[in-house]
Amino acid sequence: MNQRQAFGKAGEDLAVRYLKKNGYKVLERNYSCPVGEIDIIAKDKKTLVFVEVKTRRSRSYGSARLAITPHKKRKISMTALYYLKSNQQMDQDARFDVVTVQSTGGMQEIDLIQNAFDLAY
């Protein structure tokens, strides 16, 4: 694992702890299928939540929130549909959340954006 991957994994670990602290039940991490990958799949009450985690060391490339491009939204959406179909959960309430982890000056700022985007394909 290179330094960038380790930094991303540390951000995902922080995101998982944050989600659990806020009542989410984490079902899967790094779900991978032929169409893509989703960082975290969780349940928030009765809603299935597909969570993208974005971690940044600084704001020099803008907010972590800006890293969710239209292309990335399509990939996440297709992967979520694949997950729902392969697990016979097409009628399940679901949404897309984004957790941003901004690391500045040794401090981590975590932000949860519920319903961050709609299904895109």
- In 3D, which of 12, 22, 34 has the Cα closest to residue 83? 34
Contact 84, 95 (CB under 8 A): no
Q: Name the residue with higher pLDDT: 69 or 106.
A: 69
Q: Is the pLDDT of residue 60 over 80?
A: no
Domain of 111, CATH number, reads 3.40.1350.10
Into how many domains does the chain fold?
1
Query: pTM for the full model?
Result: 0.90
Region class of 23: left (phi > 0), else alpha (psi between -120 and 50), else beta: left
How much is the pLDDT for 23? 98
**E strand or H helix at 61:** none
Residue 108 makes CB contacts below 8 A (sequence gap 6+) with 14, 101, 102
14-53 pLDDT per residue, tens: 999 999 999 999 999 999 999 999 999 999 999 999 999 9
79-121 pLDDT per residue, tens: 999 999 999 999 999 999 999 988 777 788 899 999 999 988 6
Distance separating alpha carbons of residues 41 and 27, to the nearest angstrom = 6
Domain that holds residue 50: 3-117
How much is the pLDDT for 37? 96
Distance separating alpha carbons of residues 89 and 83, to the nearest angstrom = 8
Distance separating alpha carbons of residues 90 and 2, to the nearest angstrom = 37
How much is the pLDDT for 112? 94
Average pLDDT over residues 54-70: 71
How much is the pLDDT for 59? 60
How much is the pLDDT for 5? 79
